[in-house]
Amino acid sequence: MKILVVGGGGREHAIIKKLCENSRVEKVYALPGNGGIAEIAECVPIGTKDINKIRDFAVNNKVDFAVIAPDDPLVLGAVDLLEEAGILCFGPNKAAAAIEGSKVFSKNLMKKYSIPTAGYEVFEKAEDASEYIAKTNSFPVVIKADGLALGKGVIIAQDRTEAQDAITSIMSDRIFGESGNKIVIEEFLSGPEVSVLAFTDGKTVVPMVSSMDHKKAFDGDLGPNTGGMGTIAPNPFYDYKTAKECMERIFIPTINAMNAEGRPFKGCLYFGLMLTSNGPMVIEYNCRFGDPEAQVVLPLLKTDLLEIMEAVTGERLSDISIEFDNGAACCVIIASGGYPSSYKKGYEIKIADISPDTRLYHAGTTLSDSVLVTSGGRVIGVTATGRSLNEAVDKAYKDASNVNFKDAFYRKDIGVRALKYIENTD
């Protein structure tokens, strides 16, 4: 089979490595891929938003199966274009991808179908939003741009001035462009966060092993938000009882709601959850695998990924059983100095003495005259697995110190909160 994978980050590297375990896979094209993916796939310089070019490439190269991994092409309708051209595709169509592409859509969906989430109001005019903020007394308050904003569209405003500034930046200064045409102002929730990725074919929903992201740039959850500085799986806060409750009150109702709206969701649905004192609530949906959640979830997947993806596409997910290893995984992201603000690119990456079972998932890397150099903010994710979380974390850190380039940095406390929780509950 010839497979096409759209995307060029650590998530796509993890997906491609997993797909290559299937002996039916003869060739993988990555659009655009990166310096690490180039070792196992042919990288083609087509951007993830160029959905017409993606379709033309797939048709011209007689691709048998396509996996659209990032949010942008899904929300723009890449799956619809490929399917019209007769190419089997893993990922939701444009109508279903709105669950991530529009926060207003997803919040209204949850309200209509009584799926637990933070209370909210939608605003289309800056004046109306300002008037609301002038009257409310509940701070902090959470302000979200409606559309995609590179993971930066959520602002937690501590007081009235910060809230007003957020409204001005999003709706008047248009820092996120059209994504700020509307905003959601929502109630601030607190509690441990859990990411649950689930395979679904629109009828059956199969949650994967849970995970925990570490979104802030620096140790102790300090500094600015990033795309994610590291992950662990499973997430110890997500116990059996919580999982059962989420299945009944969130996962199945969401799949049913999307069907009732005439937008059946097929692909990987990401539930960003917060375990509040009033029970689990949805913070956000993503219409795709999380990054860097995929880098800890996929190494624990025992079932063949291509078989699962084909079952999703063929709407026969209930026919297969999906198994995960009962060990643990930890991914530590090595980033460029200055990330998530400005940083330099083009530094040579030196990798020494990595344990044979550690996985290096490349993100911002490229080959320049056969030399591996940095080309992005998040450069490489170091994933280790182990029988316990403790073992996985130790192994990941041992190898993280062996990935070196100028100004590299990484968080030293990935998994620490989870380990403390495990220690206290044992």
Site residues (CB under 6 A) for ligand AMP?
A: 118, 142, 151, 154, 156, 186, 188-189, 193, 215, 272, 283-284
Which lies closer to ligand AMP via its Cβ, residue 154 or residue 311? 154
Token pair 């509040």: residue: 276
> Could you tell me the smallest distance in angstroms from the CB atom of residue 242 to ligand AMP?
17
Q: Which does 130 bind (CB under 5 to 8 A by kind): ligand AMP, ligand GLY, none?
A: none
Report the C-alpha gap between 47 and 374 in whole angstroms: 18
Joined together, the tokens standing for residue 76 give: 């723009």
> Could you tell me the smallest distance in angstroms from the CB atom of residue 229 to ligand AMP?
12
Which lies closer to ligand AMP via its Cβ, residue 136 or residue 188? 188
Length of the chain in residues, anyone? 426
> Could you tell me the smallest distance in angstroms from the CB atom of residue 335 to ligand GLY?
14
> Could you tell me the smallest distance in angstroms from the CB atom of residue 73 to ligand AMP?
19
> Could you tell me the smallest distance in angstroms from the CB atom of residue 227 to ligand GLY?
6
Tell me if 74 sits within 8 A of 92, measured CB to CB.
yes
E strands, 153-310, are: 154-157, 183-187, 193-200, 205-207, 212-213, 216-218, 222-225, 230-233, 267-276, 279-286
Which lies closer to ligand GLY via its Cβ, residue 311 or residue 396? 396
Q: Which does 290 bind (CB under 5 to 8 A by kind): ligand GLY, ligand AMP, none?
A: ligand GLY
Strand order of the sheet with strand 230-233?
Answer: 212-213, 230-233, 328-335, 378-386, 359-362
**According to DSSP H, which parts of 286-362 are helical?**
294-297, 305-313
Which lies closer to ligand GLY via its Cβ, residue 129 or residue 287? 287
Q: Which does 8 bind (CB under 5 to 8 A by kind): ligand AMP, ligand GLY, none?
A: none
Pairing mode of beta strands 279-286, 371-374: unpaired
Tell me if 141 sits within 8 A of 160, measured CB to CB.
no
Which lies closer to ligand GLY via its Cβ, residue 171 or residue 273? 273
> Could you tell me the smallest distance in angstroms from the CB atom of residue 171 to ligand GLY?
23
Token pair 């980050």: residue: 9
Q: Which does 283 bind (CB under 5 to 8 A by kind): ligand GLY, ligand AMP, none?
A: ligand AMP
Tell me if 73 sits within 8 A of 8, measured CB to CB.
no
E strands, 34-182, are: 42-43, 65-68, 88-90, 120-123, 141-145, 154-157
Joined together, the tokens standing for residue 55 give: 């379709």
Q: Which does 228 bind (CB under 5 to 8 A by kind): ligand AMP, ligand GLY, none?
A: ligand GLY
Which residue, among 18, 146, 32, has the nearest Cα to 375 in the 3D structure? 32
Q: Which does 188 bind (CB under 5 to 8 A by kind): ligand GLY, ligand AMP, none?
A: ligand AMP
Which lies closer to ligand GLY via its Cβ, residue 41 or residue 268? 268
Which lies closer to ligand AMP via its Cβ, residue 154 or residue 419? 154
Report the C-alpha gap between 93 and 109 in whole angstroms: 17
> Could you tell me the smallest distance in angstroms from the CB atom of residue 363 to ligand GLY?
12
> Could you tell me the smallest distance in angstroms from the CB atom of residue 363 to ligand AMP?
17
Q: Tally the C-alpha atoms within 13 A of residue 19's C-alpha that lie toward its C-beta.
A: 27
Q: Which does 154 bind (CB under 5 to 8 A by kind): ligand GLY, ligand AMP, none?
A: ligand AMP
Q: Which does 175 bind (CB under 5 to 8 A by kind): ligand GLY, ligand AMP, none?
A: none
Which lies closer to ligand AMP via its Cβ, residue 281 or residue 334? 281
CB atoms within 10 A of CB 54: 26
Give every CB contact of residue 71 below 8 A, 6+ residues apart in sequence. 97, 100, 101, 148, 286, 287, 288
Report the C-alpha gap between 34 and 233 in whole angstroms: 25
Which lies closer to ligand AMP via its Cβ, residue 151 or residue 386? 151
Binding residues vs ligand GLY (CB under 6 A): 151, 213, 228, 286, 290-291, 293
Q: Which does 299 bind (CB under 5 to 8 A by kind): ligand GLY, ligand AMP, none?
A: none
